[in-house]
């Protein structure tokens, strides 16, 4: 039962730093914290897989332990892998539904208004809680009719006319839940003189990882990397994504956790603000209209993990009139599918409480964040509208109006 | 990305240096991989605690003149003189105060802080919840002292502290009691108090109710003591108010004793440094690791990091403050060791059995603690081919020729070298 | 001077001595065991902990091999919580001759060891980390045995049957009256007090130290001590025992041992007067790691926790000086028959595997002399903690107590874990976070398992044996000793210091990489933050 690829637990010096920065351990007394759940008990699980403790399910995979670790132990990766590697394989319909975002998206978008109505009903909610252990308190994200890809199909020839192009990895969220963001990305890039290409893609695998389906995640990862490799080889275009978690998976979790080699395209994949801030740095900076808003900015955990926050802030700093209030680095709690689960809902809300309070204190006109699930969490837990930074830029470029 | 100065390493040395650079108006970035050693520190700043033969130092700055003469090559000899060292420590104290604790100092002299084993340790700056003027005064009146812990807390044992405490003349004549304080039941029923770390107890002080409950129990356990020593757990952000409230509610003077990690005292300093730095517009790239650099004409032109891949991060000057073995500034193997990031020349010995002495607590300490990067008098390192890299400056535990533990000089050296490096970088950048 | 009387005095608290005292007690004799240091602190605790199938001896020493396989089956029955039935592999390394494989097969068949020749691909399935280039593979019923637990369980059973156990008690000399040994003069090493124990029989079970014991009785015993060194790897790089299929040499075996793996073993002749100074030389470490890497390539990427060595008590029966007659078999000497000294028996030689058989022989002889007609039952009667015939599931006590904590206690103490956890939350508060030792386990060991200091505690519980080597748990333990009344404050602090010095002995030879990082951190905490190494003598006012 020994996986020798991630032996980073061996570097743990038992310094306890990770225990300070774990947002779950802070609010959940049952969770023994990243040190014990990760490197400490990994040695025991290697000895005897039966020593896997159930409490590992409370890890939300926010990766804050890894940022804090002075020994480069991939603590969260160890925990995610352990959940899959050492546990008896049991099919859980709830985890299947939550983790197969693309399948759910395909099914739901064809009947979006109905699905949205149904998931919003209190009866459905109680039923989902009773039968699926999905928290009835969680507001479900709305599905849009049709897909973003279908919309893009109509734009394709227009996009091909651009001499400079970029590949857009839109992810499940844009395809099923938020076409507006996808459309805005296309318009924004077009305005900056860049055309948009789509390539075949599958769900990045983040929800599969979180629900202990590593083989499934690996399958998707292999598909995506191959698709990107083929496209990049042919076009030499960069790949951008508007989801911080998708980008994090494509760049970092694929090689680190799933052991999928992405080195051929690693430097070609960018979170969108990283791509744009470099574009701006090369100049000329396009003409930007003032956006007279006070915005609270929340940095998603996975964006922090990969050092992407500076690009978003750098990009936003170009926009005249925009006042950014930084929320102190805190996890919002939802962590993808985590906050949907009955046993984790309260933990998720407790984790996010500090952030919600800070947002309320800042009394912003709007909240900006790079991650779709952070957006759901903030919009459900505070009265503030929450948008992706690209929406603000688009407004400033005149291709979108609130 | 392009900066005036990039600091590799986010510990006391790196952050102090970056803070100073940012204050000088330089566009500064810190790249740090993991949290720093402040998280395990006493939270006090030692300048020089012990001279030769473990002799206790009372006047660190006066003694430094002689110390530097006796220790050629010591980082303190490369910080621009004793006056600059004193200024650097003052700079640090003033900057910390703006966003963090107001540090106690005994004029130019050292004072003593209490360890978890009840021994006394000479130090220069301490947090006021550790030592302050009032405590100094009341201690001299031979008051009744209580050393308390929290019921179930694994990481502090007042009886052990008291045993050594009683042996010090200062306290020998005082009445000394020990005891423990039960944590609020609302907390202990949810989580086993025997699994608490300092950080868990620390969080109980977030609410006024928590403070009041615990204060009442401390007052009872202290049994009329005028001074109460407790493990360091009084909050990371609002420690001042918590400390003040506890003293008010218990009617006793309360002091904190640093204990097993994580160190709440150290985290306060870490927090203060980072906040001040951010306020000055400095950029912190956390959880990343420098993978190497590009040298051009004997200068370091840019670095690459793990997260940013091929994207070059350029700067005019760089600071190497990656720490020693723990922070992975130095990597050691079966038969060798090297500086991790740029493979700069290292001062060390071979074979491996020279790295340590035969007893763990050997009074002479261990040679490996003194190994580090070789630098010239301006703290510039050398490449393996012998070129001095003039736009890179080294600070903190990565430096060779000092033993922070034996000398009681760790944070002092880190701060002095950091400020010296920053000043040199500032004039470098101004020269253009 | 204080004076005690008993039927049998057993000298030595290693595997043999604890086996002997248990056997004596089970046969109803009044008995006292003395041990100058701690249980299993000598050779017993300083080997690779292999539960031999006998295959390693099958080619050259079929007699030992037969003893091994027979004891192997007994121990799997009576000492379930001390042994782990991991199974073992013999593999031929790429550069070795496959001829030895055939000889081994023949040897195993002759002795009756259940071997099975398997494909290399099957071996890789059993042990994924194995060097994929090995040429042949065979399965043998090897396992692992924890010598500390074994000694402690024997002693626990002996105590529960009336034996008296005195650790940290050194034998100064035999007390002789005429042609008879009538007792022993002892010194309590904790307080320096001398006292006498008079007995009908003295059984010398002190292994390599037996020569000194014999000298005080005026009888010769020629020993050829051989030092064997091993290294410990931070975690289990293998889950089955892996042996090289060739003539034994240095670094030819990796044994999983609880949470770690051990690479063994070197073999160096040493002078008898050097049996106490057991430094592991740098060249031994190099040889062991190189050997380990050949079996499991990942060894090169793994943290080396410690290195240590033990001394094999090799005996020359005929007393010849050139050592041709050296045996690795069991040596039982009736000094009455051999040297005309009555009341004195020496049992030595042998190996950890055959400790019980050695004890049985020695006690049989003692019984014969004392005319006690009770047969040996140690081959049938399970040790305390292994009473239930099949593994029962780990009991679940409370919510919030992790499976890994419960499982570790169960692994170490078998059913006696019931004595560890109580409704008191303290009993499951973790002290040692690497090996999951709780305050309840510390308390249980202090009360029941002859623990006098923190180093003894380590042998009973694995406290401080994990990656951090005591960095977090040692201060907590010192505090607990004091809390539980097992040590006053100054003693607790001294124990803390001793504990680190003892840990340092094993860490020192392997001080590089993460081990060096860990040591630097530990040094910061205990010397820098706590000032443990020296309280300043000059006491200036604050």
DSSP B312-354: -EEEEEEEE---STTTTSEEE-SS-EEETTT---EE--SSGGG
On whether residue C246 sits in a domain, the answer given is: yes
The verdict on C134 and C113 lying in the same domain is: yes
Closest chain A residue by Cα to residue C301 = A7
Mutation target among A8, A10, A34, A78 for the C interface, most CBs of C within 10 A = A10
Q: Is A17 on the interface with C (CB under 8 A)?
A: no
| Tens digits of residue pLDDT in A79-108 | 999 999 898 777 788 888 888 888 888 888
Q: Which of A218-222, B111-115, C146-150 is predicted least confidently? A: B111-115
- Is C143 in a helix, a strand, or coil? strand
Beta carbons of C182 and C343 less than 8 angstroms apart: yes
The verdict on C353 and C499 lying in the same domain is: no
Inspect the interface and report whether the beta carbons of B54 and C479 lie closer than 8 Å: no
| Tens digits of residue pLDDT in C228-271 | 999 999 999 999 999 999 988 999 999 999 999 999 999 989 99
Closest chain B residue by Cα to residue A252 = B307
Give chain C's residues under pLDDT 50: 536-542
Of B267, B288, B327, the CB nearest to A307: B288
Residue A5 has a pLDDT of 61
Inspect the interface and report whether the beta carbons of A11 and C514 lie closer than 8 Å: yes
The verdict on C304 and C346 lying in the same domain is: no
Residues linked to residue C531 through DSSP beta bridges, in sequence order:
none
- Is C90 in a helix, a strand, or coil? strand
Q: What share of chain C is helix, strand, coil (3-state, %, to 5)?
A: 40, 20, 40
Of A19, A30, A67, the CB nearest to B287: A67
Two tokens, residue C54: 């006998």
Bridge-based pairing of strands B299-305 and B313-320 is antiparallel
CATH number at residue C280: 3.30.9.10
On whether residue C379 sits in a domain, the answer given is: no
CATH number at residue C186: 3.50.50.60
| Tens digits of residue pLDDT in B256-266 | 999 999 999 99
The verdict on C354 and C489 lying in the same domain is: no
Angle at C98 between CA C92 and CA C102, to 5 degrees: 105
Closest chain B residue by Cα to residue A306 = B307
Give the pLDDT mean for B17-29: 97
In 3D space, the residue among B288, B305, B420, B339 whose CA is nearest the CA of residue B13 turns out to be: B420
CA C449 to chain B, closest CA, distance in angstroms equals 23
Report the C-alpha gap between C480 and C352 in whole angstroms: 33
Residues of A with CB below 8 A from B326's CB? 13, 70
The verdict on C231 and C288 lying in the same domain is: yes
Report the C-alpha gap between C63 and C43 in whole angstroms: 22
Total domains, chain C? 3
Of A11, A14, A29, the CB nearest to C433: A14
Residue with tokens 């003539």: C247
Strand residues in B71-110 grouped as ranges (E): 103-105
On whether residue C375 sits in a domain, the answer given is: no
Residue C205 has a pLDDT of 98
On whether residue C468 sits in a domain, the answer given is: yes
Inspect the interface and report whether the beta carbons of C301 and A41 lie closer than 8 Å: no
The verdict on C259 and C247 lying in the same domain is: yes
Residues of C with CB below 8 A from B163's CB? 488-490, 493
Residues of C with CB below 8 A from B368's CB? 511, 516, 520
CA C333 to chain B, closest CA, distance in angstroms equals 40
The verdict on C117 and C245 lying in the same domain is: yes
Closest chain C residue by Cα to residue B178 = C483
Give me the domain span that covers residue C504. 403-534
**DSSP H or E run through A194:** none
Model ipTM over 0.85: yes
Report the C-alpha gap between B72 and A216 in whole angstroms: 62
On whether residue C272 sits in a domain, the answer given is: yes
Backbone angles phi, psi at B113, to 5 degrees: -115, 160
In 3D space, the residue among B226, B214, B209 whose CA is nearest the CA of residue B149 turns out to be: B214
The verdict on C340 and C301 lying in the same domain is: no
Chains sharing 3 or more CB pairs under 8 A with chain C: A, B
Closest chain A residue by Cα to residue B286 = A67
Chains sharing 3 or more CB pairs under 8 A with chain A: B, C
Q: Which of A3-7, A21-25, C476-480 is predicted least confidently? A: A3-7
Backbone angles phi, psi at A317, to 5 degrees: -65, -15
Mutation target among B169, B361, B363, B372 for the C interface, most CBs of C within 10 A = B361
| Tens digits of residue pLDDT in B175-209 | 999 999 999 988 888 888 899 999 999 999 989 99
Q: Is B33 on the interface with A (CB under 8 A)?
A: yes
Closest chain C residue by Cα to residue A53 = C403
Inspect the interface and report whether the beta carbons of B56 and C475 lie closer than 8 Å: no
In 3D space, the residue among C86, C437, C438, C466 whose CA is nearest the CA of residue C260 turns out to be: C466
Q: Is B49 on the interface with C (CB under 8 A)?
A: no
Beta carbons of A314 and A323 less than 8 angstroms apart: no
Report the C-alpha gap between B389 and C240 in whole angstroms: 52
Half-sphere exposure of C411 (CA within 13 A, CB side): 25
On whether residue C262 sits in a domain, the answer given is: yes
The verdict on C134 and C155 lying in the same domain is: no
Nearest-Å Rg of the Cα atoms of chain A is 21
The verdict on C463 and C504 lying in the same domain is: yes
The verdict on C228 and C305 lying in the same domain is: yes
Q: Is A70 on the interface with B (CB under 8 A)?
A: yes
Beta carbons of B28 and B282 less than 8 angstroms apart: yes
pLDDT band at A114 (very low <50, low <70, confident <90, very high): confident
Chains sharing 3 or more CB pairs under 8 A with chain B: A, C
Inspect the interface and report whether the beta carbons of C407 and A50 lie closer than 8 Å: yes
How large a percentage of chain B has pLDDT more than 70? 100
SS (H, E, C) C38-87: CCCCCHHHCCCCEECCCHHHHCCCHHHHHHHHHHHHHHHHHCCCCEECCC
The verdict on C348 and C484 lying in the same domain is: no
Domains of chain A, start order: 8-86 (1.10.1060.10), 286-397 (3.40.50)
List the 333-392 stretch of B: residues with Cβ below 8 A of C.
Answer: 333-334, 337, 351-353, 355-356, 358-363, 365-366, 368-369
On whether residue C386 sits in a domain, the answer given is: no
Two tokens, residue B126: 């301490």
Q: Is A307 on the interface with B (CB under 8 A)?
A: yes
| Tens digits of residue pLDDT in B298-342 | 999 999 999 999 889 999 999 999 999 999 999 999 999 999 999
In 3D space, the residue among A320, A307, A318 whose CA is nearest the CA of residue A370 turns out to be: A307
Backbone angles phi, psi at B181, to 5 degrees: -115, 125
List the 71-100 stretch of A: residues with Cβ below 8 A of B.
Answer: 71-72
CA B72 to chain C, closest CA, distance in angstroms equals 24
Backbone angles phi, psi at A138, to 5 degrees: -75, 130
């Amino acid at each position: 039962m020994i996986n020798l690829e991630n032996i980073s637990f061996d570097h743990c010096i038992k310094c306890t730093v990770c225990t300070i920065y774990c947002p779950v351990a802070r609010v959940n007394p049952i969770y023994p914290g990243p040190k014990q759940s990760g490197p400490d008990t990994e040695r025991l699980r290697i000895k005897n897989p039966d020593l896997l403790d159930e409490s590992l399910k409370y890890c939300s995979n926010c990766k804050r332990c890894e940022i804090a670790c002075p020994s480069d132990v991939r603590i969260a990766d160890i925990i995610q892998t352990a959940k899959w590697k050492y546990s008896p394989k049991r099919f859980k319909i709830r985890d299947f539904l939550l983790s197969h975002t693309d399948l759910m998206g395909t099914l739901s978008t064809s009947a979006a208004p109905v699905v949205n109505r149904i998931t919003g009903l209190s009866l459905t909610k109680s039923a989902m809680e009773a039968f699926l252990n999905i928290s009835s308190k969680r507001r479900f994200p709305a599905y849009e009719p049709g897909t973003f890809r279908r919309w893009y199909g109509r734009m394709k020839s227009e996009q091909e006319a651009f001499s400079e192009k970029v590949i857009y990895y839109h992810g499940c969220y844009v395809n099923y839940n938020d076409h507006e963001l996808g459309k805005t990305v296309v318009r924004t890039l077009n305005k900056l003189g860049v055309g948009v290409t789509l390539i075949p893609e599958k769900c990045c695998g983040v929800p599969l990882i979180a629900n202990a389906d590593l083989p499934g995640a690996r399958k998707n990862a292999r598909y995506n990397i191959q698709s990107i490799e083929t496209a990049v080889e042919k076009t030499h275009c960069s790949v951008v994504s508007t989801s911080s978690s998708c980008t994090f998976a494509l760049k970092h979790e694929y090689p680190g956790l799933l052991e999928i080699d992405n080195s051929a395209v690693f430097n070609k994949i960018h979170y969108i603000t990283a791509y744009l801030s470099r574009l701006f740095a090369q100049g000329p900076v396009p003409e930007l209209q003032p956006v007279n808003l006070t915005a609270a900015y929340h940095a998603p955990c996975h964006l922090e993990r990969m050092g992407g926050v500076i690009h978003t802030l750098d990009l936003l700093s170009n926009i005249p009139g925009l006042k950014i209030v930084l929320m102190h680095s805190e996890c919002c709690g939802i962590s993808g599918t985590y906050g949907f689960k009955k046993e984790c809902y309260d933990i998720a809300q407790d984790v996010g409480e500090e952030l919600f309070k800070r947002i309320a204190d800042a009394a912003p006109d709007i909240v900006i964040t790079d991650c779709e699930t952070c957006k759901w969490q903030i919009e459900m837990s505070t009265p503030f509208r929450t948008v992706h930074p690209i929406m603000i830029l688009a407004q400033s470029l005149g291709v979108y109006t609130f | 990305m392009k900066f005036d100065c990039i600091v590799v390493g986010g510990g006391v040395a790196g952050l102090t240096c970056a803070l100073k650079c940012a204050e000088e108006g330089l566009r500064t970035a810190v790249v740090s991989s993991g949290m720093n050693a402040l998280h395990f520190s006493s939270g006090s700043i030692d300048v020089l605690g012990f001279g030769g033969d473990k002799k206790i130092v009372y006047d660190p700055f006066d003694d430094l003149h002689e110390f530097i003469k006796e220790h050629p090559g010591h980082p303190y000899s490369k910080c621009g003189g004793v006056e600059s060292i004193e200024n650097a420590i003052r700079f640090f104290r003033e900057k910390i105060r703006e966003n963090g604790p107001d540090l106690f100092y005994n004029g130019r002299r050292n004072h003593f802080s209490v360890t978890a084993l009840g021994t006394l340790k000479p130090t220069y700056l301490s947090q006021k919840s550790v030592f302050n003027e009032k405590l100094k005064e009341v201690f001299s009146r031979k008051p009744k002292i209580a050393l308390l812990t929290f019921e179930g807390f694994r990481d502090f044992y007042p009886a052990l502290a008291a045993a050594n405490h009683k042996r010090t003349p200062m306290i020998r004549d005082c009445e000394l009691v020990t005891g423990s304080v039960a944590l609020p039941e609302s907390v202990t029923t949810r989580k086993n108090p025997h699994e608490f770390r300092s950080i868990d107890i620390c969080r109980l002080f977030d609410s006024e109710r928590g403070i009041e409950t615990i204060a009442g129990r401390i007052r009872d356990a202290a049994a009329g003591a005028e001074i109460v020593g407790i493990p360091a757990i009084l909050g990371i952000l609002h420690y001042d108010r918590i400390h003040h409230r506890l003293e008010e509610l218990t009617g006793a003077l309360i002091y904190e004793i640093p204990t097993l990690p994580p160190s709440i005292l150290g985290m306060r300093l870490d927090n203060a440094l980072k906040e001040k730095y951010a306020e000055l517009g400095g950029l912190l790239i956390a959880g990343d690791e420098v993978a190497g650099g590009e040298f051009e004409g004997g200068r370091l032109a840019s670095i690459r990091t793990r997260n940013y891949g091929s994207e070059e991060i350029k700067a005019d000057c760089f600071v190497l403050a990656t720490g020693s073995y723990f922070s992975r500034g130095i990597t050691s193997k079966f038969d060798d060791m090297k500086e991790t990031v740029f493979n700069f020349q290292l001062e060390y010995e071979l074979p491996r059995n020279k790295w340590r002495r035969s007893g763990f607590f050997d009074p002479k300490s261990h040679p490996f603690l003194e190994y580090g990067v070789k630098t010239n008098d301006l703290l510039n390192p050398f490449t393996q081919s012998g070129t001095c890299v003039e736009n890179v400056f080294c600070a903190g535990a990565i430096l060779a020729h000092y033993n922070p533990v034996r000398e009681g000089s760790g944070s002092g050296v880190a701060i002095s070298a950091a400020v010296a490096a920053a000043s040199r970088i500032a004039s470098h950048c101004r020269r253009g | 001077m204080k004076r005690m009387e008993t039927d049998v005095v057993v000298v030595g608290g290693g595997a043999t001595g604890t086996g002997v005292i248990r056997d004596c007690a089970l046969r109803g004799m009044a008995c006292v065991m003395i041990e100058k240091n701690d249980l299993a602190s000598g050779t017993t605790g300083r080997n690779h902990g292999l539960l031999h199938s006998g295959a390693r001896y099958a080619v050259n020493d079929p007699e030992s091999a037969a003893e091994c396989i027979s004891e192997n089956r007994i121990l799997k029955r009576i000492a379930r919580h001390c042994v782990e039935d991991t199974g073992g592999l013999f593999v031929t390394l790429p550069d070795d001759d496959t001829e030895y494989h055939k000889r081994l097969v023949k040897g195993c068949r002759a002795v009756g060891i259940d071997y099975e020749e398997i494909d290399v691909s099957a071996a890789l399935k059993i042990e994924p980390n194995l060097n994929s280039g090995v040429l042949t593979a065979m399965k043998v019923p090897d396992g692992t045995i924890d010598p500390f637990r074994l000694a402690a369980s024997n002693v626990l059973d002996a105590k529960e049957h009336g034996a008296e156990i005195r650790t940290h008690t050194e034998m100064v000399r035999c007390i002789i009256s005429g042609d008879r040994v009538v007792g022993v003069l002892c010194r309590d090493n904790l307080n320096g007090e001398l006292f006498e124990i008079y007995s009908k029989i003295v059984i010398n079970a002190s292994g390599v130290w037996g020569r000194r014991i014999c000298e005080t009785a005026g009888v010769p015993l020629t020993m050829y001590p051989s030092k064997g060194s091993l290294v410990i790897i931070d975690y289990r790089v293998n889950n089955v025992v892996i042996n090289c299929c060739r003539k034994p040499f240095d670094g030819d075996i990796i044994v999983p041992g609880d949470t770690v793996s051990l690479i063994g073993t070197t073999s160096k002749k040493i002078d008898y007067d050097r049996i106490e100074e057991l430094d592991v030389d740098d060249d031994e470490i190099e040889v062991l790691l190189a050997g380990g890497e050949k079996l499991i390539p990942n060894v090169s990427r793994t943290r080396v926790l410690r290195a240590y060595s033990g001394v094999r008590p090799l005996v020359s029966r005929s007393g010849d000086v050139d050592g041709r007659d050296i045996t690795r078999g069991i040596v039982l000497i009736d000094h009455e028959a051999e040297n005309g000294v009555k009341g004195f028996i020496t049992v030595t030689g042998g190996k950890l595997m055959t400790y019980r058989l050695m004890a049985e022989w020695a006690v049989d002889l003692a019984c014969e002399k004392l005319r006690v007609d009770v047969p040996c039952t140690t081959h049938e009667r399970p040790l305390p903690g292994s009473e239930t015939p099949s593994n029962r599931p780990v009991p679940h006590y409370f919510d919030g107590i992790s499976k890994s904590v419960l499982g570790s206690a169960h692994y170490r103490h078998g059913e006696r874990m019931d004595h560890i956890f109580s409704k008191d939350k303290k009993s499951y508060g973790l002290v040692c976070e690497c090996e999951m030792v709780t305050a309840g386990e510390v308390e249980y060991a202090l009360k029941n398992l002859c623990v006098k200091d923190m180093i003894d505690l380590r042998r009973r519980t694995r406290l401080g044996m994990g990656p951090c080597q005591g960095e977090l748990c040692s201060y907590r333990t010192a505090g607990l000793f004091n809390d539980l009344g097992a040590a006053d404050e100054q003693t607790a602090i001294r124990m803390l210091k001793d504990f680190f010095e003892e840990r340092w002995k094993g860490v020192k030879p392997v001080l590089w990489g993460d081990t060096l990082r860990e040591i630097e951190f530990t040094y910061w905490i205990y010397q820098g933050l706590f000032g443990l190494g020296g309280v300043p003598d000059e006491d200036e006012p604050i």
